[in-house]
Homo-oligomer: A and B are copies of this chain.
């Protein structure tokens, strides 16, 4: 029989695109003894998590809950529940995740109409408007609010207004925005929004908070075809999460991860969203100022930058992978590489949730300065 030693993770400061650092209080909640998913105490916890998620998403949507899988499960759930075979969907692509959404639309029999914007820029509103005019029967507009692959923030409010004017539902990737930058599900009238636990909520990875508007749920109720996934059928998930005594068994929820999410959301709500957004903005400004002094510049124009995920160009002559390796092995700091069109060209520096603190910015800048210095020798 194969056996191995117990695993002890190395000490790391997570300043990449996620997971972000998980606070000791969230890890302690995670490690509490497992109870049954039908236990009355657990049903009560599920209700609290739904309420906390509504606060975080700024919504009154009844259908607000964490899916038992990572952010890509959230994307898939939103698309396959709203879209039926043959439906046209305008999908905005300005990075990796818009492209993934188009692929998910294709795989469930929908017809993605891809509107491209440059990587590192916000979604181009005029191009989207042209596409919506050209495809008057499109059912939905899908876009990424905070592109984790490029650090660009798109104008979700304007995009949603446009979608509404063209009688389209919105499918919104808020994986990296939830908890880190303003996201107003009700005020902006968004329909199906998904996020991830391991970004600005600073929970462990593996859960995908989602919220669906009443309009989205009505669309689902009127489907002509069953949702292709049994596991992600929101109608059945609604019964599992409703918690009013009529709760019906669907799957076994990831109990311990939900303990952690409850605690992570308590942290977010206790700080207050506006305070959290401001903290992310302040540390972002400090980071950018420090990077500019080292000759490292952001990829995204200032007005379109995310605060929680900073995409910066590699200075000329620097071996980008070697710098990341030295930051990790010599300093215990993880930052992210470029993805897709930006692979090899950028670093992605995350200041998310619990990790977004002045001391981390300073520690990173010092480590980077030393590493670039040695690389220059």
Interface residues of A (CB under 8 A from B): 1-4, 6-12, 14, 16, 18-19, 21-22, 27-37, 39-42, 45, 48, 51-52, 54-55, 68-73, 76, 100, 103-104, 106-108, 196, 198, 204-206, 226-231, 249-257, 259-260, 262-263, 266, 269-270, 272-273, 328, 334, 339
Contacts and interface: CB of A to CB of B under 8 A. Distances in A.
A354 to B, nearest CB: 10
This protein's copies in its complex: 2
B19 A269 contact: no
Contact of A266 (B6, B48, B100): B6
A48 B3 CA distance: 8
Contacts of A28: 31
14 contacts: A2-B52, A3-B52, A9-B35, A28-B31, A30-B31, A73-B231, A204-B254, A204-B255, A205-B252, A205-B253, A205-B255, A206-B252, A228-B229, A256-B260
Contact of A34 (B7, B19, B33, B54): B19
Contact of A230 (B39, B52, B104): B104
Top-6 shortest CB links A-B: A206-B254, A31-B31, A204-B256, A72-B251, A22-B34, A69-B69
Nearest to A254: B206
A194 to B, nearest CB: 12
A27 B34 CA distance: 9
Contacts of A100: 230
Contact of A55 (B1, B205, B339): B1
Given A4-B262, A70-B251, A196-B252, 16 more contacts: A2-B54, A3-B270, A7-B48, A9-B32, A18-B252, A19-B252, A22-B34, A28-B31, A40-B328, A69-B73, A100-B230, A106-B226, A107-B227, A204-B254, A206-B253, A256-B260
A226 B39 contact: no
A46 B281 CA distance: 36
Q: Is the interface of A mostly helix, strand, loop or mixed?
A: loop
Contacts of A68: 69-70, 73, 206
B48 A4 contact: yes
Contact of A2 (B51, B249, B257): B51
Nearest to A5: B266
A30 B231 contact: no
Chain B CB within 10 Å, residue with most, of A11, A100, A206, A339: A206
Contacts of A73: 68-69, 231, 251
A277 B121 CA distance: 58
Given A231-B69, A252-B205, A29 B48 contact: no
B12 A252 contact: no
Contacts of A10: 35, 39, 41
A254 B257 contact: yes
Nearest to A100: B230
